[in-house]
């Protein structure tokens, strides 16, 4: 019984460490993705403003339309990338949930063995 209790204690400690690591990794990924998205959006906004200013000063209406389409395509590409980051985060969260469920099953099974 003592060995089982020690094993259960060890398993619980490992579980707690894993949950902590998963949570820290999740927070790190969220922060990193937020920063990347904010930086890309700021860069895209600046590029769009600069190109629009340039068009307004130098080009004809037709060129303005062409550049606007190009900027909209870039913006759409950014939105797709943003969704990809969101999906990656959701996948990581699913992985965390599966790991949590697996540890809970192991904990219950170990407890039942005692």
Instruction: Report yes or no on whether pTM surpasses 0.95.
Output: no
Which has the higher per-residue pLDDT, 110 or 38?
38
Q: What is the pLDDT of residues 9-67, one digit of tens each?
A: 899 999 999 999 999 999 999 999 999 999 999 999 999 999 888 877 776 777 777 88
Residue keyed to tokens 């490992």: 14
What tens digit of pLDDT does each residue of 54-104 get?
A: 877 776 777 777 888 999 999 999 999 999 999 998 988 888 888 888 888
Q: What is the pLDDT of residue 114?
A: 64
H helix count then E strand count, the chain: 2, 0
Question: Rounded to an integer, what distance in angstroms lies between the CA atom of residue 111 and that of residue 114?
Answer: 5
């Amino acid at each position: 019984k003592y060995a089982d209790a020690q094993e259960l204690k060890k398993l619980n400690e490992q579980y707690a460490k894993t949950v902590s690591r998963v949570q820290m990794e999740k927070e790190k990924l969220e922060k990193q993705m937020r920063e990347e998205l904010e930086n890309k959006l700021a860069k895209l906004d600046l590029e769009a403003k600069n190109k629009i200013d340039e068009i307004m000063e130098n080009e004809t209406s037709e060129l303005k339309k062409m550049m606007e389409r190009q900027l909209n395509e870039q913006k759409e590409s950014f939105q797709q990338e943003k969704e990809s980051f969101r999906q990656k985060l959701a996948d990581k969260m699913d992985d965390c949930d599966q790991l949590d469920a697996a540890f809970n099953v192991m904990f219950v099974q170990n407890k039942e063995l005692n």
